[in-house]
Structure 1
Amino acid sequence: MGKVAFVFPGQGSQFVGMGQALSQQSDAARRIFEQADEALGFSLSRLCFEGPEEELRLTANTQPAILTASVAVLEALREKKADMKVDFYAGHSLGEYSALVAAGALSFTDAVKVVRARGQFMEEAVPAGQGAMAAVLGMERGALHAVCEEVSGAGNPVQLANMNCPGQIVISGSAEGVKLAGEKAKAAGAKRVLPLNVSGPFHSSLMQPAADKLQSVLAEVSVQAASVPVVANVSARPVSDAGTIVDSLIQQVAAPVLWEDTIQWMVEQGVTTFVEVGPGKVLAGLIKKIAPAETKIVSVQDMESLTELLNGGIL
């Protein structure tokens, strides 16, 4: 039997209505939404279920909303099958917090408060309009890195932010830096450059103020050793002791997300099944472009897909 990894989505996977049906069908899922509302002091569940979308899209709301919707799916799974065998957890950016909750390193209520603050700090770090992100398609990592170094060296900071999958890299930095790097990337042979609809230059050096503030918030919560290895974004290697987990989360705000490397490393460790737990199917799409063709990739976000997974006998 091959190994199984659970992966959790990050920002961009949210949609109005996420988790609503599941919370009506699963007591465990409903309790997670109730805990989130109580921990945050406002109805996050209503925002997830009913919107409005503009409000759900605000980073300070999106982050706790996706975490809550993802952990609700996880708990609904555990409610049906308590003895699931999972070998690794990982999450894309914000999704790393869902992974740490899954591994018992963070309590859900602590995690939801931390990511709410993380979202606020990230929104505050760079005034609206001054930062940007863009997806660069069809360019090799080293060549794009060289372009970013050149533009940054001329005074417009921009860097590689998300190594999502072969041929898809997100760059992040000052609005001018991202624009210039995009133009140079195209001139150097990139197929397409797509500006992203985000509120800030995430995973760039411009996020350092947010990372510094996050450090003091994490110092106030209890972090345990992970019961199952969590593969960290910043290193694409497993973290399990509390100190390393905290360091990774602080670094992660201003450092690139090594998603392609993370999936490759898990494949090398013998993972043959990836289960995306939470809203959307973004990660499943990326993993298809990274993992070998015979890899089993499943997305679980509602009772139907959850039942299908449990009936499939892979857990």
Structure 2
Amino acid sequence: MSVLFTFPGQGAQKPGMLHALPDHEAAAYTLAQASAALGRNVLALDTTDALRSTVAVQLALLVAGVATARVLDALGAPPHMVAGLSIGAWPAAVVAGVLDFTDAVRLVELRARLMEDAYPSGYGMTAIGGLTRQQLAPLVAHVHGPDTPVYVANLNAPRQLVVAGAAAALDAVAALALDHGAHRAERLAVAVPSHCPLLDEQARTLACAVAQVPRRRPRLTYVSSSKARALFDADAIVADLAGNMARPVLWADTSRHAWERGARVALEMPSGSVLTRLAQDADFAACTALCVDGNRLDTLVQIVRDAR
């Protein structure tokens, strides 16, 4: 039986998330490392005002994920495999030993800034619940155009999808989806159109920066949410990280792949519980799926130890 650590994407952030990290030297060390890499206090990133910025959100999720995984590792509860949704792939790669944390901090800051500068306003993402990809795709195609770009971006579950694009296009797709049987159409707390061709140029720029940093073969199994399969080559993983902002997220297939590789405990790093609920609802559900938020650290440690 294997333990999977999952790392959430944008939308999972919440005020105070870095201040709520465990009172442990591994977390304190991670915060200090991040502050040194950024040249400013990373704890300033988790205020309500700061989290309006894509840069702050992505950095906060990176730091929270790595810090929590390090604490669990220090307490004798490491994972066998990791997977991350969108920005969550970056802390997953750090925990897998592919990237140094300080390099990841600088690259994630660049990633987020490229995205934010390209789309400072008027774009975003909307979650659609209750329709399959086959039902939603024609509605997206009907709205999509030069002035109303919109794409299917995340396949989180068979009937839990996310579209990305311009605000007017998102509203139009949402209205059509509700008319065609969707039970939910909700704008997410994501200010950029992630996981679609609108970010192709930014992904190419990031790839040039990623090519300059050292990388190592993963020391545990890294499952790509862009490819929904495990990657074992360091170059393939960093290429996956650079490009994932412009590629759809195949989270349902990623979860299934991890289950097929033996994952029976899925533990979601901060912040939030979205990935935990998806794991609990899956038809191949892990034996145990839970999140760090809202659970005692000693309980989590014992669950992971028991599964190893």
Q: TM-score, normalised by structure 1?
A: 0.90
Counterpart CA distance in 1 for 2:84 and 2:124 is: 22
Confirm or deny that 1:117 pairs with 2:110. yes
Counterpart CA distance in 1 for 2:31 and 2:157 is: 32
Deviates more, 1:35-44 or 1:176-185: 176-185
Deviations 1:270-293 (A, max 9, x none): 221111122222211121122545
Counterpart CA distance in 1 for 2:291 and 2:207 is: 32
Counterpart CA distance in 2 for 1:61 and 1:293 is: 33
> Partner letter of residue 89 of structure 1?
V
Confirm or deny that 1:10 pairs with 2:13. no
Residues 225 and 240 in structure 1, CA contact (< 8 A), matched pair in contact too: yes
Counterpart CA distance in 1 for 2:177 and 2:231 is: 34
Identical pairs, percent: 35
Counterpart CA distance in 2 for 1:160 and 1:57 is: 24
Structure 1 stretches of 5 or more lacking a match?
none
- Cα RMSD (Å): 2.0
Deviations 1:205-225 (A, max 9, x none): 111222122112212211222
Matches within 5 A, 1:246-257: 246-257=238-249
Identify the residue that residue 164 of structure 2 maps to in structure 1: 172
Residues 136 and 192 in structure 1, CA contact (< 8 A), matched pair in contact too: yes
Counterpart CA distance in 2 for 1:120 and 1:284 is: 29
How far is 1:169 from its partner? 0.5
How far is 1:139 from its partner? 0.3
Counterpart CA distance in 2 for 1:90 and 1:60 is: 21
> Partner letter of residue 76 of structure 1?
V
Identify the residue that residue 106 of structure 1 maps to in structure 2: 99
Matches within 5 A, 1:32-181: 32-48=30-46, 51=47, 53-81=48-76, 84=78, 86-129=79-122, 131-152=123-144, 156-181=148-173
Confirm or deny that 1:310 pairs with 2:305. no
Counterpart CA distance in 2 for 1:187 and 1:47 is: 39
Q: Secondary structure at the match of 2:113?
A: helix
Residues 33 and 45 in structure 1, CA contact (< 8 A), matched pair in contact too: yes
Counterpart CA distance in 1 for 2:14 and 2:166 is: 28
* CA gap 1:162/1:191 in 2 versus in 1, 3 angstroms: same
Deviations 1:154-206 (A, max 9, x none): 76321111111232111011223222222332333222311223212111211
> Partner letter of residue 310 of structure 1?
V
Counterpart CA distance in 1 for 2:146 and 2:200 is: 20
Residues 173 and 205 in structure 1, CA contact (< 8 A), matched pair in contact too: no
Residue 290 of structure 1, aligned match among 258, 282, 285: 282
Structure 2 stretches of 5 or more lacking a match?
none
* CA gap 1:154/1:212 in 2 versus in 1, 3 angstroms: closer
Runs of 4+ off more than 3 Å: 291-294
Matches within 5 A, 1:218-229: 218-229=210-221
* CA gap 1:237/1:20 in 2 versus in 1, 3 angstroms: same
Counterpart CA distance in 1 for 2:199 and 2:131 is: 25
Counterpart CA distance in 1 for 2:188 and 2:220 is: 33
> Partner letter of residue 29 of structure 1?
A
